[in-house]
Amino acid sequence: MAFKVINATEAKPGISIIIDGAPCTVRSQDISKTGKHGHAKARIEAIGILDGKKRVIVVPGHEKMEVPHIEKRKAQVMSVSGEKASVMDLESYETLDIKIEEGLEVKEEGTVEYWIIGEEKIIKRTL
């Protein structure tokens, strides 16, 4: 699932990282100064891409963090049922059942952008 590895001090706002096995987008980062006998610490606040949960971690600045590979694709909505939508990919023409992000209004016959993160797929916005 990891695309590349970065240090905790390189996790700037807007970058996606993996925290506790879940892909997250960094919202804020604070780096403390080094102490007399220690290393700099990074406090990272992030929001889960798939579940929307807020996660806060404090790690040493040299701690390695994984950056997930996120593939963004376009699809046409065939039907909507509850929190899932049946869509057809506009490049490969395959039909998929994908979860809709909370608070997103998806209409039939519309065009959407969906993200593939590892094995998970989620509709992130309408076009």
Domains and CATH numbers, the chain: 2-68 (2.30.30.30), 70-126 (2.40.50.140)
The 10s digit of each residue's pLDDT in 38-88 is 888 999 999 999 888 999 999 998 999 999 999 999 999 999 998 899 999
- pTM, two decimal places: 0.81
pLDDT exceeds cutoff 70 at 16: yes
Residue 48 pLDDT: 93
Residue 1 pLDDT: 58
Distance set, CA 57 to CA 1, 29, 44, 54 (Å): 20, 10, 5, 10
